[in-house]
Structure 1
Amino acid sequence: MQTVSVQEAKNNARALLLDVRTPAEYKEVHTADALLRPLAELHPATLAELAANRPIYILCRTGNRARQAAERLQKSGVTDVAVIEGGIEAWQAAGLPVVRGRKTMSLERQVRIAAGALVLTGMILGFLLHPCFFVIPTFVGTGLILPVLPSGVAWECSLPECPGTRALPRS
């Protein structure tokens, strides 16, 4: 798989710069010329039309999702594809210009806060009102443990891919 440095990507004005991070990550920080196409919503045929004989340089946060996107594009016949080494983190570290938006809380952090609040509430209510409230932290704990067990199939999908958690398409 072909890779390019952040400096090479910045200097090639002809290339289509493709950002495959989530919309929340993109809003937080992105390059001025990047086209947002989250990995989960990547359609190689559409990108081939957009690129129109230009190289496609793909970036994400550090490079992992960009590699997945590049593989998907190459399997569909798009050949002039390269991954930007180090992603947006390397871009920022090199001092290249970025557009900064509002920092958003990650989905994982939101889930942790909600789970912690439920456990704390269940414990307080269990001690102060009635022991039946201890069922709340029990369910939360079970819900957190089951997905990481090898045979646990309770939550097969990752949160960003679950129905209702994807960003709506732009009109």
Structure 2
Amino acid sequence: MTATPLSPADARLAIDRGARLIDIRGTDEHARERIPGAISLPLYRIADLPRDGLPVVFHCRTGMRTSAHAAQLVSAASGAPAFLLDGGINGWRRAGLPTIADRSQPLEIMRQVQITAGALVLSGVLLGLFVAPGFFALSAFVGSGLMFAGVTGWCGMARLLQVMPWNRRAVAASTAPRSGFDLR
């Protein structure tokens, strides 16, 4: 059995007919913006999906995660019809369908990592050019950390950002049993 891609309009019809909408993004992403009625079940917990035979529509942010993990998602559906929302929540929003956005929630950890890493690399380059060449090491250190995160799937910067005061509410809500951060 394979997962069938659905346009946002067709996904809306399937949900209206009783299909369950499963958001496989991280809990921090789901808290910040979600499709009404979507159940947050991050990819690392997808085996917890109830096996009740109901059709399931899986979604992520852009559709790339659901496509990359389609076999795992179909397996978790346990024989029930499985669908992938084309374009993820972004496609849903582009189709003019409603989402619930809570801008009081912190930015997703991955976006925080990107902003922080970019700021540190830029700072290292500028300080290296205008203050002392030794500051180029900051950019090298951040770059090597990003490479390590890409190879291992564990990001020290993400772990550090997760315990920052502005993220404590999001971390407390997360039930992630593993240490690390999945960069997919």
TM-score of the two chains, using structure 1 as the length reference: 0.71
Q: Distance in 1 between matches of 2:41 and 2:156?
A: 15
CA RMSD of aligned residues (A): 3.3
Match of 2:12 in 1: 10
| Cα 1:38–1:111 shift into 2, 3 Å | farther
| Mapping 1:11-26, distance limit 5 Å | 11-12=13-14, 13=16, 14-26=18-30
In structure 1, the residue matched to 2:84 is 83
Q: What is the DSSP-based 3-state SS (H/G/I as helix, E as strand, rest coil) of the residue aligned with 1:96?
A: coil
Sequence identity, in percent?
20
Match of 1:116 among 112, 117, 122: 122
* Contact map agreement 1:48 1:78 (CA 8 A) in 2: no
1:76 Cα deviation after fit: 5.2
Determine the C-alpha separation between the residues in 1 that align with 2:155 and 2:89.
Answer: 20
Task: Give the Å deviation of 1:5.
Answer: 1.5
Summarize the Cα distance change of 1:154–1:54 in structure 2 as closer, same or farther, 3 Å threshold: closer
Q: Counterpart amino acid of 1:43?
A: I
Please say if 1:60 is aligned against 2:54: no
1:75, distance to aligned residue in structure 2 (A): 3.8
Instruction: Work out whether 1:42 is the aligned partner of 2:45.
Output: yes
Task: Give the CA deviation at 1:68.
Answer: 3.2
* 8 A contact 1:32–1:99 mirrored in 2: yes
Verify the 8 A CA contact 1:42 1:69 in the aligned structure 2: no
Written as runs of structure 1 = structure 2, the 5 A alignment for 1:90-109 is 90-102=91-103, 104-105=106-107, 106-107=111-112, 108-109=114-115
Looking at structure 2, the residues matched to 19 and 88 of structure 1 have their Cα atoms a distance apart, in angstroms, of 9
Count of aligned residue pairs for this structure pair:
155
Distance in 1 separating the partners of 2:63 and 2:83: 11
For residues 159 and 34 of structure 1, the distance between their equivalents in structure 2, rounded to whole angstroms, comes to: 28
Unpaired runs of 5+ in structure 2? 163-170, 177-184
Alpha-carbon distance between aligned partners in 2 of 1:55 and 1:93, rounded to the nearest angstrom: 24
Q: 1:96 to 1:27 in 2, by over 3 A?
A: same
1:156 aligns with 2:162: no
Q: Within 2, Cα distance between the matches of 1:163 and 1:62?
A: 21
Matches of 2:70 and 2:125, distance apart in 1: 42
**TM-score (norm. length: structure 2):** 0.66
Flag the 1:154–1:27 CA change in 2: closer, same or farther, 3 A: closer
Structure 1 position 161, deviation (Å): 9.0
Q: 1:2 to 1:23 in 2, by over 3 A?
A: same
Q: Does the CA contact (< 8 Å) of 2:56 and 2:82 recur in 1?
A: yes
* 1:39-70 Cα deviation digits (max 9, x unpaired): 2x2332x2033xx2211101111111112343
